[in-house]
Amino acid sequence: MTRACFRRLVAEALDSLPPEFRERLDNVAVLVEDVPGEQRKKARKPAPRSAQPRELLMGVFVGTPATSRSVFALPSGPARIVLYQKNIEAVCHSDAEIRREVRLTVIHEIGHYFGMDEDQLRHV
């Protein structure tokens, strides 16, 4: 899948969020990269298509959760949500599966943005 097409899926996932969540997203950038830096260092080739979802990182939230921010803290730039396109593609077998995984990953990382931990997000 092209990067432009993948980014459109990310935009669709963000646009599909309920307005009460979209309106509360403040100073957060949503980015797309091929793979995480650690994975890039280990191997110069994309993950195998047989990779299991638990073996690969689909996305990450980097920043201070909205629930932990203080008006007294110095500005540190935007929080970031990064989706890893090659890892998502590696665990999906069709464009429909990629669309579904992008949406799940966006929702998961936005949950971290709002201060939810992994245990809370497992039940969403």
Mean pLDDT of all residues in 88-106? 95
pLDDT tens for residues 28-69? 999 999 999 866 556 555 555 555 555 789 999 998 887 776
Give the CATH number of domain 3-67+79-122; options: 1.10.357.10, 3.40.50.10420, 3.30.2010.20, 3.40.50.970.
3.30.2010.20
Burial code (b: 16+ CB inside 10 Å, e: under 16) for 20-56 equals eeeeebeebebebbebbeebeeeeeeebeeeeeeeeb
Q: Are the C-beta atoms of 45 and 85 separated by less than 8 Å?
A: no
Residue 88 has pLDDT above 90, yes or no: yes
Residue 87 has pLDDT above 90, yes or no: yes
Mean pLDDT of all residues in 15-40? 88
